[in-house]
Structure 1
Amino acid sequence: MQSKAKILLIYTGGTIGMSKDFETGALVAFNFGQLLQHVPELKLLECDIETVSFEKPIDSSNMNPEILGSLAATIEKNYTQFDGFVVLHGSDTMAYTASALSFMFENLSKPVILTGSQLPIGDLRTDAKENLITAIQVASLRENGRSIVQEVCLYFEYKLYRGNRTTKVNAEHFQAFNSPNYPCLVESGVHLKTNLSLLLKADFEQKLHVQYTLDTNVVILKLFPGISEVVLAAMLSIKNLKGIVLETYGSGNAPTEEWFLSLIQKAISDGLHVINVTQCSAGSVMMGQYETSTELKNCGVISGKDITTEAAITKLMYLLGQDHTKADFKLIFEKSLRGELTE
């Protein structure tokens, strides 16, 4: 008989950790040490839960690499003592954090599940309880003494997604997230339906390694009809810029005007890494399918394939934190490291 799974619940901030003061109507953070008083249903779960909270919980809009490092360090410090981790996080930048953590945690073999809510946990119609309870339940799933989920995930509104495949799509609906190019890993209904064939499989011979260095000398540029030479030139000449995620049209298409291509070509020749991702909510970059993307391919632009913008920018920061040659960088970026793109 398996012993109970031990889950560490980490509160970073966000709506899920708030409760309403019914006298003033104001939202206040509640004491996570008293979590069972707010969610007594947790006692029914077949796991032992411990909680830890950021000393100063943050609004997720203030997430940055330093805070990401603190979160990663908390997990690394407790990695051997717990079977899984549930991170409570504001929804606005949750997809970015999930993507970044997926790259930072090398050789991960336990679940790290991010969740949050659109309404506070004390609200009458809250989605917080279901998200919290099921995220913990999924993190507790084990077989033969090992976690079934062995990657960074995001759970929201009855679905568990691969974290680096997610994007926030709605600021008001409970179904706030989507995974446009990869199916959900677990679906919650009367029973939990786990799609085992879709899950990443860990190499248990390898020890967890956390890369804390994320290079922030990067930028995202969304193309639009009418973008000018002056604007593009200014973006590409930013001091110390090392990488740019270029959000192009359709399957990776961009203007074929000479000034546009020459600026991109010069930037790449000068050592800048240019990543091509699609502006479309779903689908993949396929450079060379049309004339308007063939020139980008010839310039040496890196194909993001079907990666999300959130995963592209965090993968870029992660790889820039390592020492790669220009040729190796392109090869590695276009390869799936944590299931973030389809090869």
Structure 2
Amino acid sequence: MRAVKNLLVLYTGGTIGMLETPEGLAPAGGFEARMREHFAHMTDAPQLRWTLQELDPLLDSANMQQHNWLAMRDAIVAAVEVAGHDGVLVLHGTDSMAYSAAALSFLLLGLPVPVLLTGSMLPAGAADSDAWGNLCGALRQFEQGLEDGVQLFFHGQLLHGSRATKLRSEAFDAFVALPRHRDSERAGAIPAELGYKHPRQPVNLAVVPVFPGLQASHLQALLGSGVQGLLLECYGSGTGPSDDQALLDVLSAARQRGVMLAAISQCPEGSVVFDTYAAGNRLRGAGLVSGGGMTREAALAKMVALLGAGLDVDTAERWFALDLCGERA
């Protein structure tokens, strides 16, 4: 851990910098000037040196897409390798912040600087806003020293980037790191194709919850649309409608033609352990690989990073089963 001396603030949009428009709150530029003006009136403003870069276009994070993650990754890598920054603070909207934190965790494997995401539930300048508290708190984390890797700072909490999730839609303590037990071997050396220097491509993925009434035809329509990977949110420890042979056949056929199939639990706490129930074993037999105790955000982001690196499904499944950055810890 080391104090950061030359920070990049990457402003992606989000509530923290929004201004009122006739249609409601919307992302607005010029946030660097607002930050500097606010700090000028503080007696205990953070003292580290920073510069701000605006991502183009600025986003309401409800509009976040994979290509925006890749643009963030490119900006961060350039900031470190070209501009010499030794830390990056990403200002982000809260709707998809946990997804972006997880995505950057896998897209920046091996990056030798800390990356921190923060944002706010209310815009900077709004009455009783949490914006300046979160922003100043995040900056002080860099002053005190952070470990390399991706983390999320919100409401005084420092959370692991691939373990965080948004639990509350209105309270200031919106984010938590869901507890998990280690359920996988930690990967050794990360191959070059999974490191932060390796570019990625967007991946056509889908997430489907198992629910009473899920039909083979539902999955057939989705899997027939060209998806490269399916994340199935199963019951409990990884169970589903295992007596529906038509549904199992649809999954099996998709895996045989090269679609990656992964399973996570719908439960906020717990892991997929296929061996516990016969119903879980039948899903594994249809071609699903266990996501262990990963969050939805982490499992989805990990599939993007693996398949987006050009790995074949067998290789992607092997790396998916290993703990790459603490996502399965």
TM-score normalised by L of structure 1: 0.83
Whether 1:11 and 2:14 are equivalent positions in the alignment is no
Q: Which residue in 1 is equivalent to 2:215?
A: 228
Q: Which residue in 1 is equivalent to 2:280?
A: 293
Cα contact 1:18–1:122 (8 A) shared by 2: no
Q: Which residue in 1 is equivalent to 2:131?
A: 128
Give the Cα separation in 2 of the matches to 1:26 and 1:230: 40
Q: Which residue in 2 is equivalent to 1:166?
A: 164
Whether 1:153 and 2:151 are equivalent positions in the alignment is yes
Give the Cα separation in 1 of the matches to 2:75 and 2:92: 14
| 3-state SS of paired residue (2:58) | coil
Amino acid at match of 1:140: E
Q: Which residue in 1 is equivalent to 2:234?
A: 248
| 3-state SS of paired residue (2:262) | strand
Give the Cα separation in 2 of the matches to 1:42 and 1:11: 24
User: How far off its partner does 1:322 sit?
Assistant: 2.7
Q: Which residue in 2 is equivalent to 1:94?
A: 97
Amino acid at match of 2:37: Q
User: How far off its partner does 1:273 sit?
Assistant: 1.0
User: How far off its partner does 1:237 sit?
Assistant: 1.6
Give the Cα separation in 2 of the matches to 1:158 and 1:149: 17
| 3-state SS of paired residue (1:276) | strand
Q: Which residue in 2 is equivalent to 1:327?
A: 314
User: How far off its partner does 1:106 sit?
Assistant: 2.6
1:82-123, Cα deviation, whole Å (9 max, x unpaired): 221111011001111111111111311211111100011101
1:242-273, Cα deviation, whole Å (9 max, x unpaired): 11000010111111122222222222122211
Whether 1:113 and 2:113 are equivalent positions in the alignment is no
Q: Which has the higher contact order (CA 8 A, sep 6+)?
A: 2
1:2-60, Cα deviation, whole Å (9 max, x unpaired): 98722111111011113569xxx977736223212124448632411221222431111
Amino acid at match of 2:228: K
Q: Which residue in 1 is equivalent to 2:57?
A: 56
Q: Which runs of 4+ in 1 moved over 4 A?
A: 25-28
1:211-248, Cα deviation, whole Å (9 max, x unpaired): 33133221111111011222122122223x21100001
Cα contact 1:6–1:84 (8 A) shared by 2: yes
Q: Which residue in 1 is equivalent to 2:185?
A: none
Q: 1:306 to 1:218 in 2, by over 3 A?
A: same
TM-score normalised by L of structure 2: 0.87
Whether 1:278 and 2:265 are equivalent positions in the alignment is yes
Q: Which residue in 2 is equivalent to 1:33?
A: 32
User: How far off its partner does 1:315 sit?
Assistant: 1.0
| 3-state SS of paired residue (1:12) | strand
Give the Cα separation in 2 of the matches to 1:20 and 1:133: 23
Give the Cα separation in 1 of the matches to 2:3 and 2:312: 47
Give the Cα separation in 2 of the matches to 1:39 and 1:4: 18
Cα contact 2:8–2:89 (8 A) shared by 1: yes
Unaligned runs of 5+ in 1: 143-147, 184-201
Amino acid at match of 2:31: F
Cα contact 2:16–2:131 (8 A) shared by 1: yes
| 3-state SS of paired residue (1:122) | coil
Give the Cα separation in 2 of the matches to 1:166 and 1:229: 32
Amino acid at match of 1:84: G
Cα contact 1:106–1:211 (8 A) shared by 2: no
1:165-199, Cα deviation, whole Å (9 max, x unpaired): 1111111111111211259xxxxxxxxxxxxxxxx
Cα contact 1:83–1:140 (8 A) shared by 2: no
User: Aligned pair count?
Assistant: 311
Give the Cα separation in 1 of the matches to 2:202 and 2:32: 35
Q: 1:325 to 1:58 in 2, by over 3 A?
A: closer
Give the Cα separation in 2 of the matches to 1:67 and 1:136: 24
